[in-house]
Amino acid sequence: MSEFEGLTQDRIESNKQTILELLRKTSRPGMDRLLDWIENKSDFFIAPASTKYHLACEGGLAEHSMNVYRLLAGKVSSGLLDLPDDTVIITALLHDLCKVNFYVRETKNVKEGTKMGPYGKPVANWVEKEVWAINDTLPIGHGEKSCYLIQSYIRLKEEEFAMIRFHMGSDRNGYPDPFAEAASKYPGVVAIHTSDIESAYIVEARQ
């Protein structure tokens, strides 16, 4: 999948409407203000999910969020763990809110194979290409930033905060490990972490 292609406009619009509908369904106080910010003051529905890895295309962030939602909801519906519907919706769909207004397009020279040089020998083939880059205006951490942005509008429950904060897994070597401690207290932490990596490395590898 190229950086700027991959999802149709119909798919992008469908994801947008589904996400808005699901989040409204939670009836969490402040959700209307959060959705207004997401829809009108952020690029959530057109942003990529990464610069060059999973779903590095327009609409990738929303697509990834929907994938995580389906996987997490599936774990709950199977009886693997018990989480309220609003917790599943909020954590899965908003875990990567830190990525809004985060990616920008820029032009850079990229090596694409080789070409024959002037002396008949292969040399690097450099081409000018538009790529995704990062412009982080609030560098406070990944999960931490998502929690901060969400709680600017709605109140997260303790487990929801832990799930979003640690959805990337452990970021520390040694003991004590906050991820391990949070995971032992809140099963949802493990469930969203595995849903996130399953989405990125299995589901989206096929898209």
Q: What is the pLDDT of residues 183-203, one digit of tens each?
A: 999 999 999 999 999 999 999
pLDDT tens column, 4-44: 457 999 999 999 999 999 999 999 999 999 999 999 999 99
Residue 128 lies in a domain: yes
Residue 4 lies in a domain: no
pLDDT (0 to 100) of residue 3: 46
Contact 95, 143 (CB under 8 A): yes
Q: What is the spatial distance between Cα 37 and Cα 44, in angstroms, rounded to a whole number?
A: 10
pLDDT (0 to 100) of residue 2: 41
pLDDT (0 to 100) of residue 54: 83
What is the domain count for the chain?
A: 2
Residue 3 lies in a domain: no
Residue 115 lies in a domain: yes
Q: For residue 124, give its domain range.
A: 104-134
pLDDT (0 to 100) of residue 110: 76
Mean pLDDT of 81-93: 98
pLDDT (0 to 100) of residue 115: 79
